[in-house]
Amino acid sequence: MAKRLIPRSRAAALTAPLLVVAMGIGGCTRPLDGYPSLAPRPIETLSLNEPEHAPPPPETADPAAVARYAPFVERARAADASFRKVLAEERASLVRGRGAATGSDAWTAAQVSLSRVETARGTTGKALADLDAARDGDPTRTNTGAALASQQAFEQVQTIADEEQAAVAAAWPGQR
């Protein structure tokens, strides 16, 4: 008779865990429709940290920055005074040329006058461009006295440029 290598009780002891593992694997093949997702829920992605608050904007402009931008504002004001003088000198010619036929003497004179007015207006545009370039070169943050001074200077020069544009449009309607 052949000798059994594994005693019967021991064979049963080894077979039982294999049977449990085989049944467990079979249980893994069932559909997953009824189980919740393991992905993070929306509430789990929210931060519980205190939100960052920006510092309050400064109430006054930095005097050093105001002094740095003042020459640009003054150039724009001087250019505006010159523009207003040229516009006053050329207004009569512009008015005569408004309804004149294209190519007529009045129309040609108005075109020359308009060119003089636009040239005078260009000086303010140059001051605005120079100010903008100076502002780009300065590393300013949004909530500093220097940034406030920069913004105020830009708004002043831009207002002058806008008023000049409106004056040209009023003197020579339909052209701008």
Tell me how far the alpha carbon of residue 122 is from its chain's centroid: 27
Least confident residue range of 4-18, 69-83, 98-112: 4-18
Contact indicator for 91, 167 with CB cutoff of 8 Å: no
The conformation of residue 109, written as its DSSP 8-state character, comes to H
Residues 6+ away with beta carbon under 8 Å from 116: 86, 90
Rounded CA-CA distance 42/92 in Å is 71
CATH 1.20.58 corresponds to the domain 63-171: yes
How far are the Cα atoms of 3, 146, 148 from residue 64, in angstroms, in the given order? Answer: 105, 8, 12
Rounded CA-CA distance 68/146 in Å is 10
Residue type, 58: P
Q: What is the mean pLDDT of the chain?
A: 83
The pLDDT tens digits of the residues spanning 53-63 come to: 877 767 788 88
Enter the tokens of residue 15: 């077979």
Q: Where are the domains of the chain?
A: 63-171
Cα angle 99, 172, 104; round to 5: 40
Contact indicator for 134, 140 with CB cutoff of 8 Å: no
The pLDDT tens digits of the residues spanning 81-132 come to: 999 999 999 999 998 888 888 889 999 999 999 999 999 999 999 999 999 8
pLDDT above 50 (res 174)? yes
Q: Model pTM?
A: 0.64
